[in-house]
Chain A
Amino acid sequence: MSQNTDWVYSEKIKDHFMHPRNILEDEKSYRYDGKGVVGNIKCGDQMMMVIKVDKEKNAIADCKWKTYGCASAIASTSLLSEIVIGMSLDKAYHISPKDIAEELGGLPEHKIHCSVLGDKALRAAIDDYYMKNGMENKIKKEKARIICQCMNVTDHDIENAVLEGARTFLELQEHTKLGTVCGQCKGEAEQLLKEYVKKHFDK
């Protein structure tokens, strides 16, 4: 990224940060078909996305959001809301953090964490719509399940760390950075650690 003294991130982030689009202004009267909330205020990031669905086209008719977070979290949610309106549910379901970061003109590495929440919130909103409309079969059960929300560490990552030699919670943290922010996942991570060690190394 260029070293711009006027602004710390890309121009596109600045634009969305200064003029955020599609904020959910009046939560009570806005009628949505699906809602997703992800993140944790303790970690400094939380996002809520709501969608209206065009049921004939199976596409997102409208999308609004609220975000508690930094400039890139605000900008990435705003941008995401703009690009998904009119998009098919199937396509919207597969937007990745990388797609969002690219659209924003690049994010510093430590800020990728902030855009990870946007696509998760959107998927959660679409899942919510599927649930409410008898389409549970469309919910893609992600093979990997996120255990540590703060550092975005999945059960797969934990299994890999075990295979790479992690045996204690501290070693697991060294491998994955899991549980280094709010620490809420410690119990679950320790349980998984035990299970994977047993699965791969117990005779």
Chain B
Amino acid sequence: MSVKKVYLDHNATTPLHPEVKKVMREAMDKFGNPSSLHSVGREARKYVEEARAKTAGFIGASPEEIVFVGSGSEANNTVLSIFSCASKSCSFHSEVKKVVVTTAIEHPCIIESSKCLKDRGFDVRYLDVDSFGKVSIEQLEDILKGRKAGLVSVMMANNEIGTLQDIKLIAEIAHKYGALMHTDAVQAVGKIPVDVKKLDVDFLTVSGHKIYGPKGIGMLFVKTGTPFCPFVRGGHQEMGRRAGTENTLGIIGLGKAVEMRAKEMAAEDKRLKGLKKMLAQGIRKNIPDAHFNGHPEDSLVSTLNVSFKGAEGEAILLYLDLAGIAVSTGSACASGSLDPSHVLLATGISPELAHGSIRISMGRLTDKKDIEYVLDTLPGIIKKIRNMSSAYSKGGKNVPKH
């Protein structure tokens, strides 16, 4: 007997949209090198530029402001690497602006890259967040005042807790003090409306596989006129901003993915809002000692992060997995390290609650039945784990006598 499969880990990755799959199948025969001058190459170039236009349009950018890269991580690494370029011949030269401001809850690719900048002599500052995961605007102003900061990088929507930041305001402050503004919008684009002009950001990161596109394709928006220095060198591709023959198949897939997001996003947002409410209420009603992480309103409607006292996250994840439900956890045990989620710890919750967290991230195919199944399954699992937990007491009520 096969168990029902419910995939609720869309912040980790998403399945290909059927329309994306279709265009990618067709595109498999468009093998030409977009840089070639002959007709085979020109045909590939046409597809790449069509996808570029679609992708640009989706975020309110011009096509020439779009740089296709290998992943969201590469886009983020690229932005931070620009600031350590010390070559005087480079269009970007940062000798005097050695301050970079980011946050304590960024994706590891930003955290690790920023550590690397620190090792190269940069003054890297990490903004604190409040208990809902919102960055401190006052702290940002305090840091920028009187320092020559080169970059402020703040993620738009957090991958673990879904909290949204006020990027427009943060960009305004960054610019006021002469810094460039980057936002990692990997979890935001395709879920909430994003317009680079309205936000007035200088760099913005998008990933293909988080929005029902293929893996191995990402996109970096670089505002016209912004200093730039390539991360991958040695080719004229992407207007000299990213070397390497274009991933035609991935680019075509991404183009279709954003096209489908534009069509489906608004209705999906409304639907998921209802499902998230149903899920949170169901958990609150049926499971005692549940602690919700993230912002109650300013948060992705697809993401719900919740901690269960006295129950460890990897155990919850694996019991859910045996019931066919796929989620993720902020527990150390699932990550191969011994530290629980840096994001949850930054919000100030105890390590115990961070170890006991699960992230439920819904997607375009999630329906009411899926949430009902979770609500039927999860309370029993938490009860089972707590029953054998040395870190949870039932409170002495309704304990059957043997």
Interface residues of A (CB under 8 A from B): 7-8, 17-18, 20, 23, 25-26, 29, 37, 41-48, 65-74, 110-111, 113-114, 150-151, 180-182
Chain B residue nearest in CB terms to A121: B390
- State A46–B332 Cα separation when bound (angstroms): 14
Chain B interface category by residue count: 20 to 34
Residue in A43, A47, A180 whose beta carbon sits within 8 Å of that of B351 in the complex: A43
Contact check, B388 vs A26: say whether CB atoms are below 8 A apart: no
Check A41/B391 contact, CB under 8 A, given A69-B333, A70-B331.
yes
Check A44/B387 contact, CB under 8 A, given A180-B338, A182-B351.
no
Whether a CB of chain A sits under 8 angstroms from the CB of B28 is no
Q: Restricting to B317-334, which residues have a CB under 8 Å from any CB of A?
A: 318-319, 322, 331-334
Contact check, B399 vs A26: say whether CB atoms are below 8 A apart: yes
Residue in A8, A68, A111 whose beta carbon sits within 8 Å of that of B391 in the complex: A68
Check A44/B390 contact, CB under 8 A, given A26-B399, A181-B339.
no
Check A151/B390 contact, CB under 8 A, given A70-B314, A71-B318, A114-B333.
no
Contact check, A69 vs B315: say whether CB atoms are below 8 A apart: yes
Residue in B318, B319, B388, B392 whose beta carbon sits within 8 Å of that of A23 in the complex: B388
- State A182–B332 Cα separation when bound (angstroms): 12
Contact check, B312 vs A70: say whether CB atoms are below 8 A apart: yes
Residues of A within 8 A of B340 (CB): 44
Give min CB distance, A122 to chain B, whole Å.
14
Residues of B within 8 A of A8 (CB): 318
Give min CB distance, A69 to chain B, whole Å.
5
Interface centre among A7, A23, A71 (most CB of B within 10 A): A71
Interface residues of B (CB under 8 A from A): 310-315, 318-319, 322, 331-334, 336-340, 350-352, 355, 387-392, 399, 401-402
Give min CB distance, A109 to chain B, whole Å.
9
Contact check, A68 vs B389: say whether CB atoms are below 8 A apart: yes
- State A74–B391 Cα separation when bound (angstroms): 13
Contact check, B352 vs A26: say whether CB atoms are below 8 A apart: no
- State A151–B332 Cα separation when bound (angstroms): 13
Residues of A within 8 A of B352 (CB): 41-42
Residues of A within 8 A of B332 (CB): 43-44, 181
- State A180–B350 Cα separation when bound (angstroms): 16
Residues of A within 8 A of B399 (CB): 26
Residues of A within 8 A of B314 (CB): 70-71
* Top-9 shortest CB links A-B: A70-B333, A68-B391, A70-B314, A66-B390, A44-B355, A48-B390, A42-B351, A23-B388, A68-B389
Interface centre among A65, A70, A151 (most CB of B within 10 A): A70
Check A46/B387 contact, CB under 8 A, given A26-B399, A110-B336.
no
Give min CB distance, B317 to chain A, whole Å.
9
Residues of A within 8 A of B312 (CB): 44-45, 68-70, 73
Contact check, A67 vs B338: say whether CB atoms are below 8 A apart: no
Residues of B within 8 A of A74 (CB): 315, 388
Contact check, B333 vs A44: say whether CB atoms are below 8 A apart: yes
Chain B residue nearest in CB terms to A109: B336
- State A8–B350 Cα separation when bound (angstroms): 28
Residues of B within 8 A of A110 (CB): 336-338
Chain B residue nearest in CB terms to A22: B388
Contact check, B387 vs A68: say whether CB atoms are below 8 A apart: no
Chain A residue nearest in CB terms to B387: A23
